[in-house]
Amino acid sequence: MAIVDDDAGVRVGLRRLCEVFDLGVSVYASGHEFLASLDHGRPHADCLLIDAHMPTMTGVELQHDLLSRGVQIPTIVFTGDDPDAVSAHHTGLSVVACLRKPVESDDLIAAIERAVGAVVSDPDGPR
């Protein structure tokens, strides 16, 4: 998993939540930081979690950038606004889900499962 959010608190919270489900997580404070981490144009993650509203580079801008580099990565977008309205901006991009902040763990895991096409096992039993 790769998490891109400008807010440190949000980054830490989301990372911890993913770690509970034994998902490997790397965090980035901005789109630029994530782009810089690409290894020969390939990401180190199977799924990208991004905030729609970020300074310097918004979620949509980051996806367009990735698209232009030929990077295809299933993406989950967070927003404080109406998720339907936000997802409309992302049509044609590899957005799997648009989630409203604050995000429920069940919704997040369901979205991740859809993104990676595999079941995320809960180490603590049924959710």
Q: Which is nearer to another protein, 17 or 29 (CB)?
A: 17
**Cα–Cα distance for residue pair 30/33, rounded to 1 Å:** 5
Describe the crossing of helices 8-20 and 105-116 by its angle, rounded to 10 degrees.
70
* Candidate list 78, 95, 111, 112; residue touching another protein; CB under 8 A: 78
Output the smallest distance, CB 42 to another protein, in A.
Answer: 28
Output the smallest distance, CB 41 to another protein, in A.
Answer: 26
Any contact of residue 12 with another protein (CB under 8 A)?
A: yes
Q: Which is nearer to another protein, 41 or 81 (CB)?
A: 81
Any contact of residue 16 with another protein (CB under 8 A)?
A: yes
Tokens of 10: 């949000």
* Candidate list 1, 4, 14, 25; residue touching another protein; CB under 8 A: 14
Q: Which long-range contacts (CB under 8 A, 24 or more apart) does 34-43 make?
A: 34/2, 34/4, 34/62, 35/62, 35/65, 35/66, 35/69, 37/2, 38/69, 38/71, 41/69, 41/70, 41/71, 42/71, 43/2, 43/71, 43/73
Choices 24-32, 64-72, 97-105, 110-118 (CB under 8 A): range interacting with another protein: 97-105
Any contact of residue 118 with another protein (CB under 8 A)?
A: no
**Cα–Cα distance for residue pair 104/127, rounded to 1 Å:** 12
Site string for another protein, 43-72 (x = CB under 8 A): ----------xxx-----------------
